[in-house]
Structure 1
């Protein structure tokens, strides 16, 4: 039986979020194409895919990337997923491709003919997985050797998730003439042979999701709202976040990340009860995220922008060391300098200002944003840890509406 939810303030599950300048750093991908999907097998080996036939592979955690050519330069590769150290699946058009050598070489394991594109893929393991798009849904239980059609009603598919125990969740919306839509969430416990409706939402669509297969579930509604279930999808409550939601990634039932359209990433460590707001400072809308554990992960979006964290986006050390109002803006020399691997940068702010403190490498590429927020008058000290960077000359730059200055520092390992 379908269940409908009335969106009202009475149902609102109040959550809180706090601001924290996060420790994300930019990785150079060598492309300006939009990245749509990320998957890593471990801290070193990963693949990103996207528009214009984009497929890049790294074996050093994203420090450098090698193009992989599969002969589809003019199309969109919508998704990619590692299932073990050697096995990777990806989708483009109505095709499914597979690699058995960690993404170096690929072969087609499903070649569609109906013209409906696959947009989402989700695998529970090497053998069992699903691929879906509007008008097209397939499932395999033998590693892509054969595929069966999955049947369910709905005008448009917007999300897919397969749990480790191979339960399949599909979300989307159905048009109801003349002006209405109904979002729906379906579940199959028999590899897509049949589906039951878990929930329906009037006048909204349902998109990206995560289920732990036991208790917790999270789903995005209409790209704007995040909802949580604590009974495996039987009922749902909204979580309050600011900004349209682009993607979510949960490491487990309670530790997860949510990206929005405001250059913002939210993190929860308590099952959505509260969120910490992280601002990477790249002015990018992050379309895709992937984490190998709570601490190490990547987020990507337009123009080939890719950022990485190795400490869960934890707060960068920023302390106010004096509340006395300075006469002028200033940026001091970092100390120690040279340094290995940590250094401190002191600066002064004479009035309330939006302050950015950015680290650049010798090529002028931004590698880290230490500060990107409004600060009260005072003298501050920011910490930078260069553990994940190579030795060399770096520049740090303070930017406000009234003051800009750049200084040089040397990381010597």
Structure 2
């Protein structure tokens, strides 16, 4: 299995390595391949679903659009697609498709194609393996030459020489609700980037089972689901953190939110096993800080802080704990 997407009805669309595309509705399987459908190749490496429910399918034989009945295929010869080997697809807020190929990055607005490559842009490599789009519309592009950010005009490249990226082979990117980027590399493990600081998780300093990270997904609770090459599937909840100290692994911090959902007052209990600088802040859905609850050094032990936000609007907020190098985020719901 190379790719998975879930449509609005909950149907799973599964891209396989040589077996074509499968649809699973929870009971029945429907398989689409080159012999019974318009799928251009049985090696399916990317799937995205647009707002109309159309499936965009990246294969080794080009890009296919499937509306449930009709197939439209885009390839090197009938479109502006720079390579038939499609490895990544993302759809922005305007409905434009961003397509990562072995020949560079393509943007398709439904009519026109724009191609970005090593020679006409800041793209660090023509081998594009991952694409994610943040809340500001910035495109984050994983390549075999590092990570690139494209805001529509300017390119910023992060690699092992100028950032905390642990390896230049970027295979997966996911963005959490706070805007942090989670980057899977082949050989360097998993990296978290908050826009300023990098935190690297690998087999030596965390529970990551394999440093070859091929896929990342983030669920509604903020858990990171990490697919690896030989180590299976890992889940990182952020509930416990580990760091190296005197050749021992120690738990740095844990946080529990009580009364969630809450109507105005909630309690946050957290613990640290040693003296450490602690910051607990609250953010809204836009990533804006709305409160700082704790900011200072704490001795080993357990603490409780009360947060009274009866004047805030109802909605979803995020409480973020940072204790030393450990980070944890909890989602809370304020009800009126």
- TM-score under structure 2 normalisation? 0.58
**Aligned partners of 1:278, 1:268: CA distance in 2, in Å?**
11
Distance (Å, rounded) in 2 between the aligned partners of 1:147 and 1:79:
19
The answer for the alignment partner of 1:275 in structure 2 is 198
Q: Does the alignment pair 1:154 with 2:82?
A: yes
Could you list the runs of 5+ residues in structure 2 that have no partner in the other structure?
250-269, 275-299, 303-336
Q: For residues 383-410 of structure 1, what are the alpha-carbon distances to aligned partners after superposition, in whole Å with 9 as ceiling and x for unaligned?
A: 9xxxxxxxxxxxxxxxxxxxxxxxxxxx
- Name structure 1 gaps, 5 residues minimum: 1-76, 175-183, 324-328, 332-341, 347-380, 384-413
Matched, 1:266 2:191: yes
CA distances 1:200-250 after superposition (whole Å, capped 9, x unpaired):
21482233111247531111222x411112x2x332111221213231112
The answer (yes or no) to whether the contact 2:81–2:106 under 8 Å persists in 1 is no
Residue 238 of structure 1 is matched in structure 2 by 157
Q: Residues of 2 paired with 1:168 and 1:208: CA distance?
A: 13
Structure 1 residues 200 and 289: alpha-carbon distance in aligned structure 2, compared to 1, 3 A threshold? same
Report deviation, 1:85: 5.8
Distance 1:278 1:304 in 2: 14
Q: Identify the match of residue 188 of structure 1 among 108, 124, 128.
A: 108
SS of 2:10's equivalent? coil
Within 5 Å, give how 1:14-413 maps onto structure 2.
77-84=1-8, 86-92=10-16, 93=18, 95-101=20-26, 104-108=27-31, 111-112=37-38, 115=41, 117-125=43-51, 127-140=53-66, 142=67, 144-150=68-74, 151-155=79-83, 156-163=85-92, 165-174=94-103, 184-190=104-110, 193-197=111-115, 199-202=116-119, 204-205=125-126, 206-212=128-134, 214-222=136-144, 224-229=145-150, 231=151, 233-239=152-158, 240=163, 241-243=165-167, 244-251=169-176, 254-262=179-187, 264-269=189-194, 272-279=195-202, 280-284=206-210, 285-293=212-220, 295-303=222-230, 305-311=232-238, 315-316=241-242
Contact 1:257 1:265 in 2 (8 A): yes
| Gap change, CA 1:213 and 1:168, over 3 Å in 2 | farther
Alignment-derived partner of residue 368 in structure 1: none
Alpha-carbon offset, residue 306 of structure 1: 1.3
Q: Is the 8 A contact 2:171 2:186 kept in 1?
A: yes
CA distance in 2, matches of 1:186, 1:195: 7
Aligned residues: CA RMSD? 3.9
> Following TM superposition, by how much is the alpha carbon of 1:114 offset from its aligned partner in structure 2, in angstroms?
5.0
The Cα shift of 1:293 comes to: 4.2
User: Is the 1:163–1:212 Cα contact (8 Å) retained in structure 2?
Assistant: no
1:157 is displaced (CA, Å) by 2.9
- Provide closer, same or farther for how the CA distance between residues 314 and 294 of structure 1 changes in structure 2, counting only shifts above 3 A: farther
CA separation of 1:294 and 1:217: change in aligned 2, threshold 3 A = farther
After TM superposition, which residue ranges in structure 1, 4 or more long, deviate above 4 angstroms?
Answer: 112-116, 342-346
Query: Residues 180-214 of structure 1, C-alpha deviation per residue, up to 9 Å, x if partnerless?
Result: xxxx2211122xx44222x2214822331112475
In the aligned structure 2, how far is the partner of 1:330 from the partner of 1:124?
Answer: 48
Aligned partners of 2:62 and 2:86 also within 8 Å: no
CA contact (8 A) 1:124 1:163 kept: no
User: Kindly tell me: are residues 344 and 186 of structure 1, through their superposed partners in 2, closer, same or farther at Cα, counting changes over 3 Å?
Assistant: closer
- Say which structure, 1 or 2, has more relative contact order (CA 8 Å, 6+ apart): 1
On the 8 A contact 1:80/1:91 being kept in 2, the answer is yes
Number of residue pairs aligned between Structure 1 and Structure 2: 236
- The CA deviation at 1:263 is 5.5
Quick one: distance in 1 between partners of 2:196 and 2:248? 40
